[in-house]
Structure 1
Amino acid sequence: MHDDPTRSFDGPVTAPAGLPPGRDTWGDFRLLARVGHGGFGEVYRAWDPHLEREVALKLLLPGSVNGEAEYSAILREARALAAVQHANIVHVYGIDRHDGRVGFWTDFVHGKTLSVLLEAQGPFGYREAALIGLDVAKALSAVHRTGILHRDIKTENVMREEGGRILLMDFGLSALPQRLTGIAGTPNYMAPELFTGHPATVASDIYAMGVLLYHLVTGEYPARLSGITPAEAADAIGKRKPLLDVRPDIPEPFLKAVNMAMEVDPAKRFGSAGHLAAALTESLGASVSDNASGPKAGPAPRRKMLFPAAGVAAIILAVAALAGMRSESLRRWLHLAGNQTASVVPANVSDEFLKAQDLLQHSYKGANLAAAVTGFQQVLQKDPSFALAEAGLGSAYFGQFRNSRDPKLLDQATEHIDKALQLDPNLASPYVTQARIAAMEGHTSLAMQQIEKAISLDPHNAEAYGSLAEIYKANGRLNDSFTALQKAIDLAPDDSRWPLRLGSYQFGAGNLQEAVRQLQSAISLAPDNATAYFDLGVVDMQLDKLPEAKANLEKSLALDPYFDTYQTLGTLAELEGRFSDAVAMYRKAIDLNPNSYETWGNLGSAYLWSGAGKDKTGQAYRKAIEIAEAERKKTPEDARLLGELANYYASIGNKTQSSIFVRQSLAFSNDDPAITYRAGETYEILGQREKAIPLIAESVTRGYDLNEFQRSPELASLRSDPAFQAALVMAKTPKMITMQTAKQSEPRSITNGKH
């Protein structure tokens, strides 16, 4: 849960600091390193032997909990907290007593606390602080609904995980010892009423949130309250430094949110964490120039309207005449950009702007995004006040970021989107891009509000509905995502992106025939889109239409020789039993991307079944293991990666490592049928069919690809095993599966040559 590097668990572990000599355990847990300590106890990085995973173990000081009544109260609260599932909360797994100490264990989060980040980089910008506060407030709201309080919100208890997710730690539990002594919290964050003996409440948690936000944007506290008497605390709070005096550049909505959270009178604070979250969301729509007390910027340049009283249709015709262009092109542009009459395309840049917009719409070609960036930049050189060009540039930079994950590109996208809204706050398209960025960062509520804003400004914006579908899908609302995408298709029937995306979503939902229909529609609109042919080829494979799949994948390859297309053609060749062809495809994929452990693993499998010999097979599997082990250090709980490692180790005869990883993959799998299937296949390779049968039967009955199962040479013997057929009956398989006869299998690996 703290700023510790990952380490191996294979060697001897010396007793961590703070433990008596020779002590390196607590109950069944192995204590690997002490990573934190304070007045309540100590935090250890520990190994849970039951789940075979790393955890953060918090041990309260001896004597902190006295008697069964106190322990029962703590246990009830821990159980209530463990039941709360929220993306911004560190999950509690258990609580127990050993050796006279109460301890509880949670996820071990690899990241940095806000206090560490604040010390390293200085005060945060208000937007970043508001986004962090929004996530913390959402987490706080989720737990308040269960009747639990936090009591110790501070920068040390908020973690930014590697990858950017914000996590609030130690809900309720961090303050257990303080609670029992009547003291709740860290003095600099404590609400005034707590100093006079009043109990902690939702309002006192809200106050601490206000201090947290203040501290993030200033690096200071509104009042220093540590080590002073209640009377001195009241005086210090009355003289606290206003946020505006420290940061006069902060916009008014953010100031109001912080000040209201820190009201001395609890009744004047936000009524809930949800209300604070709403205020922070509102503040994210503000610019620095909104601050009435700070320096005022002049009014944003507004484009002169040719026909102020005209409707959209009249303006389309007017601009078409002015620019010498077809009205159809402008209609398409207005659908893309948001058809607000305040932002008419200037005649001197109309051709360049529409060309850049067209490149952005056809960004499935890799070079088009870069060309769109150049096009929008050229437009802005001629007309720096053209808001729609700023919006287009921001969207293009975001597209490049999605492809490369270069953080500089995300910063550039945000910068140009903000400029677009400063030039014209009534544009829909910048809000769409803001929503996509927020959704990518996990800020679902903010993303939804920004999409709603875009749609309110332009109810006919296909981009908004396409992005709304992305948000719905990310939150498991598949039917709503289908509806939103159909709306986008209706609004922009000539835009191939929406049927392409709908086809992909339908495929993910198992609606294969509808996926085919949508993907064929996308191809008819954009016959040069390699992705559409690729997706259609994958759907054909699921439908067991292998010749059609091969034709579509080869069309995709001709348009864009992407490594994943070679990889998929290799898989197709294996399904058809053409193992030498599979080897050739995987080799070509590796030439394009030599760092894919999956491709090396697939190559090992193809070598094995093609009879290439155990030297080549072993080299491929060992290369897959080398790459996958390096990845495991970055993502030690990736169930799919662990499952692949288990399979590779089994294939080279390392039963010990394979058994460890297959159990771990199942522990982290969240019942994913693909991971269950891979685990079953691994157990079959290990010769443990009694474990393989129930896993394979479960995955097949839950919808795992029947084609792969029926054609897999690994599972030929298992398919005909009466015990497996009985397991299918027990699992109530929804469809008949044609069994293939084969000999009973023996353990298979390249070391013994058994297939």
Structure 2
Amino acid sequence: MAEIPSPDVTQSRDMESTRPLAEERRTAQAIDVDCVHPRTWGDFQLLQRLGRGGFGEVFRAWDPMLEREVALKLLLPRGQDEEQQFATLITEARAIARVRHSNIVSVYGVDRREGRVGFWSDYVRGQTLAAWIAACGPLNEEEAAKVGMQLCNALAAVHNAGLLHRDIKPGNAMRDQDGRVLLMDFGLTQELLATASLAGTPGYLAPELRDGQQASAQSDIYAMGVLLRFLLSGSPVPLVPAPGKQKTPSRLQLIIAKATEMDPKARFASADQMAKALGEIVAAPAQRPQTVWSKWLSLPWLVVLLLALGFVFGPRLFRKVDSGVGPAAGTPAYADYLAANEALGRYDKPGNTDKAISLYQAALKNSPNYALAEAGLARAYWRKFSDTSESKWADQATEAAGRAAQMNPNLAAVQMTLGSIHVDQGKFEVGVDELQKAENLDHRSSDVHAALAEAYRQQGRLDDAKNEFQTAMDLDPDNWRWPYLLGALQIDSGDLTGAEKNLKAALAKSQDNARILYDLGIVYRKQDRLAEAQNVLEGSVELDPRPNPVTELGNVLFQKGDYAGAIQRFQQAIKISESKYGAWGNLGTAYLASGEGTRADEAFRKAIALGLAQAAKTPEDSFVVSVLGYYYANIHDRDHALPLMRKAVALAPGDPDVLERVGEAYEQLGDRQQALAFLEKALKQGYSASYARSDPALKALRRDPNAPSAIRESNSSR
């Protein structure tokens, strides 16, 4: 399960805003998407880049209008007139719309959005023929003939519509999950490519094209013959037999020879004719000579023996090969995969995520088509992104998840990984759909149920989330992560009693766990059990001195009135990670409380600079917006503070933390009336009165006769 932290978890001075689940999660808005790929094209959500070439990029995308996945190809500008480029595509698309064939990937639409021309088609879950042959090796003659016949029938439909393909190759044909072979990428983009350079792929180009002649149906047939040669031998280049080793060519080899004649007139007259020749091989495969062994193996009693062995040994005897599930038990790749899972399962231990990444990579080196290891690698990369906020890890995670899906999308772990990443990127619709597919594939997986719980939590479906976490605990009662994550959710929802119970249950299963201790410290602080909070947080920092527990420890000291100790902890957090804007903001607040105004101003300005970078990625995050408004208010910059405060309230009018922070910002700006109004609303929404009573920034406000009664002090109070 990919567990992601929020955009920034070193919280502001407002202790109530610390969110443990947010510490484990990150939304897509926090990813520096420019370093990965665009997130949208018009209304389409770009889920995963499948490929990139000289003409453009291909994405797996989500069409929100029809609620389905599509393959979206976005063309790169080619220095020609944009209107002419778009007109050419429209003409080609209309021609392709006339083609109807079960072995052709249909194009759904063409458009120009955000300055880029693109078209979208059916998204096929499967492998290109290039990837299939690389994974499984060359085909026998009958298998190659079956594939070739499907492709020739598709090519005939293209030719009958008055179109040419121009770029037939293994990478432009797919084998889907059901074994159907589909021809892709015909018509569209070829006119555009031809204007810049010779269209087609070297090795598959007919000789007349290399001589500068026009493309024709016969040049497509030539490329189809080379493709058949690739399926049969693994190479598009003819194999020259050694002297004295010449054999009588087989029927398929004769078909390949005819299709790849130098003279176009000597080739098959049409793709229909070539498909018919291949069909004869499929209908009447060559009879292999029967040896003594083959006669013996055909005896009926052997069938009974094999069935008996299957009953005794089960799937170990008849194991499906190249399913992407992975190597057999006892192999080095399998051992590395199990060790990687174990390391990632204890991601709380420093260095374990890096260890998991190395082990998954080792497993894939020994077994390149290992879909489970590729999915595990994606989750490890995402965990690395969670802990470092470096977008390169998000990029590698999405790429690894995509490779896993290409290897075998019918594995629950693969669908779970895709779904978890998409949910954490804010693509809830497609993410939940993938997680539900994962549940259908394996309803007994605790990881899948926990991933669904996180998706529901992010959607605000807290009851559904709690039920899914409970199911995960029922299925895997010894795993610390499930009560830990449920406890974190309960902290967010205000159920501190339930959170404490579940976090202690998690701690009993994993006693040296810094993450559990960190969350437990938050629970204790929220209950004003500051001594206990300090004790467990010091334990968390000792195990893993990350910025989050160090900052939370500073928050506890601040709440105890130990401003010098708080300053020391906030400075420690900044030394660990200087890019955390919340740590700088906390440091500014502590300086302000201790009377060091100049240092406070410097810290707030640093927090603002870092916070603005985050706000550019998450402009609708009410927490980030309100914190920035609070920082600006503390340096008395009304022009910047007020718009941010108003926006924060508009984004989250019922969030008590946001309301309190805005009220305190108004107090800093000298607007007591607005400060009182927002603080009153915050308290009614559940903001802790004890925090407001201990906040030194609200000391003067608490003595105001109009202050809320829950926090009001007499003028003689100290």
The question of a shared fold, defined as TM-score above 0.5 by the shorter chain, is answered with yes
1:367 aligns with 2:351: yes
Contact 1:557 1:565 in 2 (8 A): yes
| Change in 2 beyond 3 A, CA 1:296/1:740 | farther
- The alpha carbon displacement at 1:537 in A equals 0.7
Write the mapping of 1:227-266 to structure 2, written as runs, cut at 5 A: 239=162, 249=172, 251=174
Write the mapping of 1:529-540 to structure 2, written as runs, cut at 5 A: 529-540=513-524
Question: Partner letter of residue 364 of structure 1?
Answer: D
**Could you give the per-residue CA deviations for residues 642-695 of structure 1, whole angstroms, max 9, x where no partner exists?**
433333333334444433443343344454332221111111122211111121
Contact 1:249 1:294 in 2 (8 A): no
Structure 2: 5+ residue runs without aligned partners? 1-27, 30-37, 76-85, 96-106, 124-159, 189-226, 235-305
C-alpha separation in 1, matches of 2:433 and 2:614: 36
Write the mapping of 1:326-365 to structure 2, written as runs, cut at 5 A: 344-346=328-330, 351-365=335-349
Structure 1: 5+ residue runs without aligned partners? 1-86, 89-109, 142-152, 157-184, 194-204, 218-236, 263-291, 320-338, 729-736, 745-754
1:741 aligns with 2:670: no
Bigger Cα displacement from structure 2, 709-718 vs 488-497: 709-718
| Change in 2 beyond 3 A, CA 1:452/1:743 | same
| Change in 2 beyond 3 A, CA 1:438/1:238 | same
- The alpha carbon displacement at 1:347 in A equals 5.1
- The alpha carbon displacement at 1:449 in A equals 3.4
The aligned length equals 503
Contact 1:716 1:742 in 2 (8 A): no
Alignment match, 2:696: 713
Contact 1:154 1:212 in 2 (8 A): yes
| Change in 2 beyond 3 A, CA 1:701/1:586 | same
**Could you give the per-residue CA deviations for residues 255-312 of structure 1, whole angstroms, max 9, x where no partner exists?**
98999xx9xxxxxxxxxxxxxxxxxxxxxxxxxxxxx99976999xxxx999754699
- The alpha carbon displacement at 1:556 in A equals 0.6
C-alpha separation in 2, matches of 1:368 and 1:718: 48
1:683 aligns with 2:656: no
Question: Partner letter of residue 358 of structure 2?
Answer: T
Question: Partner letter of residue 686 of structure 1?
Answer: L
C-alpha separation in 2, matches of 1:306 and 1:473: 50
Contact 1:214 1:243 in 2 (8 A): no
Write the mapping of 1:290-689 to structure 2, written as runs, cut at 5 A: 308-309=310-311, 344-346=328-330, 351-384=335-368, 388-404=372-388, 409-410=393-394, 412-413=396-397, 417=401, 427-611=411-595, 613-629=596-612, 631-632=614-615, 638-669=621-652, 671-689=654-672
Alignment match, 1:134: 63
Contact 2:109 2:119 in 1 (8 A): no
C-alpha separation in 2, matches of 1:424 and 1:701: 52
- The alpha carbon displacement at 1:552 in A equals 1.3
Query: SS in structure 2 opposite 1:603?
Result: helix
Query: SS in structure 1 opposite 2:347?
Result: coil
C-alpha separation in 2, matches of 1:382 and 1:305: 32
Alignment match, 1:701: 684
- The alpha carbon displacement at 1:557 in A equals 0.8
Alignment match, 2:79: none
C-alpha separation in 1, matches of 2:229 and 2:683: 64
Larger radius of gyration: 2
Query: SS in structure 2 opposite 1:740?
Result: coil
C-alpha separation in 1, matches of 2:498 and 2:541: 24
C-alpha separation in 1, matches of 2:563 and 2:443: 53
Query: SS in structure 2 opposite 1:213?
Result: strand
Identity, in percent, stands at 28
Query: SS in structure 2 opposite 1:251?
Result: strand
C-alpha separation in 2, matches of 1:305 and 1:344: 21
C-alpha separation in 1, matches of 2:64 and 2:169: 24
Contact 1:542 1:707 in 2 (8 A): no
Give the aligned CA root-mean-square deviation in angstroms: 5.1
C-alpha separation in 2, matches of 1:714 and 1:574: 12
- The alpha carbon displacement at 1:442 in A equals 3.5
Contact 1:135 1:443 in 2 (8 A): no
Contact 1:189 1:212 in 2 (8 A): no
C-alpha separation in 1, matches of 2:228 and 2:119: 20
C-alpha separation in 2, matches of 1:654 and 1:371: 47
Contact 1:586 1:602 in 2 (8 A): yes
| Change in 2 beyond 3 A, CA 1:647/1:472 | closer
C-alpha separation in 2, matches of 1:297 and 1:250: 15
Question: Partner letter of residue 590 of structure 1?
Answer: I
Question: Partner letter of residue 513 of structure 1?
Answer: T
- The alpha carbon displacement at 1:373 in A equals 2.2
C-alpha separation in 2, matches of 1:216 and 1:565: 48
| Change in 2 beyond 3 A, CA 1:680/1:421 | closer
C-alpha separation in 1, matches of 2:400 and 2:609: 42
- The alpha carbon displacement at 1:532 in A equals 0.7
C-alpha separation in 2, matches of 1:487 and 1:507: 19
Normalised by the size of structure 2, how large is the TM-score?
Answer: 0.58
Contact 1:360 1:396 in 2 (8 A): yes
Query: SS in structure 1 opposite 2:713?
Result: coil
- The alpha carbon displacement at 1:136 in A equals 6.0
